[in-house]
Structure 1
Amino acid sequence: MTSYLILGVMSGTSVDGIDFALVQFQKTQSWAFEIVTARTIPYPKEWQQKLREAVDFDEIALENLDNEYTEFLAKATNTFIKDEKIAQIDAIASHGHTILHRPDQGITYQIGNKKELAKRTEKLVICDFRVQDVKLGGQGAPLVPIGDQLLFGAYDACVNIGGFANISYLKNDQRIAYDICPTNIVLNHYTEKLGLDYDKGGKIASGAKIDQKLLEKLNNLPFYALKPPKSLGLEWVRQEVFPLLEASKQKPEFIIATFTEHMAQQIGQVLSRASQKNADFKVLITGGGAYNTHLIERLKALTSLKITVPEPQIVEFKEALVFAFMGALRLRNTHNILKSVTGAEKDHCSGVIFTP
């Protein structure tokens, strides 16, 4: 048996904070894991603002932000290690924070993936997981499916609902995965207009009227007709989604209700296709959206599948857990990105290793 103790670090597109998950992995015939401890360190408001605006930065401003963010990330990581009294780990596996993601143009850029992170934490760091995949013709996303396959194989499909919703499932013995639609990245934008961080339990959505014309326009966005592999970024949301929502001239609560229904319908359609009408099809739902009770109820009504929302630690930290796992696979020099998922020319082992 081989074991690894790895700290997974993840910052998602919803910019609520940095997720830390210290995970013990054991490899025998198959993989087993235990989350030793996990916590989110929230972003201060000024960092939320910076990260949302960075997509418009020029090259020099981005480089400065990258340096500044690496320092911020190192401090947050050191705080977590100190608070949790972590004496020794094999590596930190860090995703960084995505600023630009245009794989069609051969671009994906995550800040915080610098050697400085290893130097300041005095730990071995594995990072920059996406760039190699894009160079190999892949989407550079989603990367979590390797974990779905090797750690969560008891489920037929895994859906994560964070800033975006994505799915991963087996089809003809091949792992298929792709982004479904934007989710909390849009909802949170409009709940903030109401003075709230998010729509707790989907209460706003469940209590407001749906704009059917707007819903139809959203459902007809060309992205949904594309075949996978495919992935989404904030740039696409700003070009395609926000203009539609703003043109509707609706109040934020009606937009939240309409967009939540749009999410339910898009995720529901994808799950229905994946399950091929198999009523025993088991679905694991994680990410912040798993706590949106109204959304989960709509999904159950639309699909009639066996939908499971696991314990909070898995809901909240599954992505950080899987990046830790990708780090373990990188240390073994075994494949941690699947070509069937990203569209790259081959399965490959990705991640840059920095020593302190």
Structure 2
Amino acid sequence: MKPHSGNKWLVIGTMSGTSLDGLDLAAIEFRRTENCWKFNVVAAETVNYSEEWEEKLRTAPVFSGEKLIELHNLYGQFTGRQINRFVRKHQLSPDLIASHGHTIFHQPEKGFTFQAGNGANIAVETGITTAADFRTGDVALGGQGAPLVPVGDRLLFAEYESCLNLGGFANISFEQNRKRIAFDICPVNFILNDLAQKLGKPFDKNGDLARTGTVNDQLLEKLNGLNFYRQSPPKSLGREWTDEYFMPIVSSCDLSVHDKLATVCEHIAVQIARAMPTKGKTLITGGGAFNTFLIEKFRKHLKSEIVIPTAEIINYKEALVFAFLGLLRFRNEINCYASVTGAKRDSSSGVIFPA
């Protein structure tokens, strides 16, 4: 990390979600004042994937070992080049890069997780010290390697009793008995986008497609009956679980896509209501926060006060928090809670790649 003055750091965080919406880039200024962290979003944008990159990332789970290693390095180079363009465009001088990468495999029960995007390639492309590979250390400690955002929820968004993210999957974070608790709840955009694409749409804008459908009680009951929902935290979800358990139920039902969308939205609202604390304010972020039909469902089912922040926070909270996790890792401070992941101990997770 290059020298800087005082207790301010400019960190670029990157995030690529399972729903393949694109590569999020966020330049965040962090300030340490007494025992409190403050942040300011300096610049943020999303790089949409080309059809070629989207296809590579979507099909990567079936790549050969050789091809997967090649993708790992190429995606690191791609990320580094996008960061260089972002830095030039906004005339930035970052102290550090923190890159989540793109999750290809997540099977902590088998002891592994893998995010493509080699931090060494990012550091070489940009000439900036890079923190990456945030999940494998926690998995090695017996944890789920997810969710990791709760550290940021506790230290950066403490005014909310709970934080709900609606990305490819829904995950929630809140305090319980003076410990941070967090876990994945259910699929969200990962499924909704897939269904919308069957109608020729990249996603269900505002939930308009789902709004025209009818909830099917039989499908709803089958989805709500999945074993994952009876498991106690810590727990996390990945593409593999969705492909094996969730999608076969949805695909086997003889319903219109609109009815499937309506039913899945109802299912999401039911599962989140069951998982969420009943009191206080809940911050909702992630792409699903723009789904007005889904938010209407929440207002019917949820008992806590819902807060929808600015579009900037909705879109870039995960990139923002990974920037923060990278800074904590560089400072060798705790950025991963055992109370969240089920690991043997708290840790400072991630790998530092010098420029």
Q: What is the correspondence of 1:106-145 to structure 2 with a 5 Å cutoff?
A: 106-145=111-150
Residue equivalent to 2:318: 319
Structure 2 CA distance, aligned partners of 1:178 and 1:156?
A: 15
Report whether the alignment pairs 1:187 with 2:192: yes
2:43 equivalent to 1:20:
no
- Counterparts of 2:315 and 2:109 in 1: how far apart (Å)? 30
| Alignment counterpart, residue 75 of structure 1, candidates 81, 91, 94 | 81
The CA RMSD measured in Å over matched residues stands at 1.0
Residue matched to 2:251 = 246
Equivalent AA in structure 1 for residue 40 of structure 2 = E
Provide the C-alpha distance between the structure 2 equivalents of 1:230 and 1:304, rounded to a whole number of angstroms. Answer: 23
Measured in 1, the distance between the counterparts of 2:260 and 2:81 equals 38
- Give aligned pairs, total: 349
Separation of aligned partners in 2, 1:111 and 1:298? 35
Q: Which residue of 1 aligns with 2:40?
A: 34
Measured after TM superposition, the shift of residue 61 of structure 1 is 2.0
* CA offsets 1:34-77 (integer angstroms, 9 cap, x no match): 00010001111221122111122221221121122122212212
When structure 1 is superposed on structure 2, of 115-124 and 57-66 the one drifting more is 57-66
Matching residue within 225, 228, 241 for 2:233: 228
Mapping 1:1-356, distance limit 5 Å: 2-29=7-34, 30-86=36-92, 88-271=93-276, 274-275=277-278, 278=279, 281-356=280-355
Any conservation in 2 of the 1:327–1:351 contact (CA below 8 Å)? yes
Aligned-residue sequence identity (percent) comes to 47
Report the secondary structure of 2:155's partner residue: helix
Give the ranges of 4+ consecutive aligned residues of structure 1 lying more than 4 Å apart after TM superposition.
none
TM-score normalised by L of structure 2: 0.96
Give distance in 1, aligned partners of 2:123 and 2:342. Answer: 31
Amino acid at match of 2:104: I
One-letter amino acid of the counterpart of residue 343, structure 1: G
What SS class does the counterpart of residue 244 from structure 2 fall into?
Answer: helix
Mean Cα deviation higher: 300-309 or 155-164: 300-309
| Runs (5+) with no aligned partner, structure 2 | 1-5
Letter in 2 for 1:178: F
Q: Secondary structure at the match of 2:171?
A: strand
CA contact (8 A) 1:55 1:235 kept: no
Residues 180 and 267, structure 1, Cα contact 8 Å, conserved in 2 = yes
After TM superposition, the score normalised by the length of structure 1 is 0.96
The aligned residue for residue 3 of structure 2 is none
Alignment partners' CA distance in 1, 2:184 and 2:63: 25
Classify the secondary structure of the residue corresponding to 1:304.
Answer: coil
Q: Is the 8 A contact 1:95 1:113 kept in 2?
A: no
How far does the alpha carbon of each residue in 1:120-175 deviate from its partner, in whole angstroms, 9 at most, with x for none?
A: 11111111110100000000000000000000000000000000000000001100
Letter in 2 for 1:72: F
Q: Please state how far the C-alpha of 1:251 moved relative to its aligned partner.
A: 2.1
Distance, in Å, in 1 between the alignment partners of 2:265 and 2:302 is 16
What do the CA deviations read for 1:264-312 (whole angstroms, capped 9, x no partner)? Answer: 11111111xx23xx3xx11000000001111111111112321000001
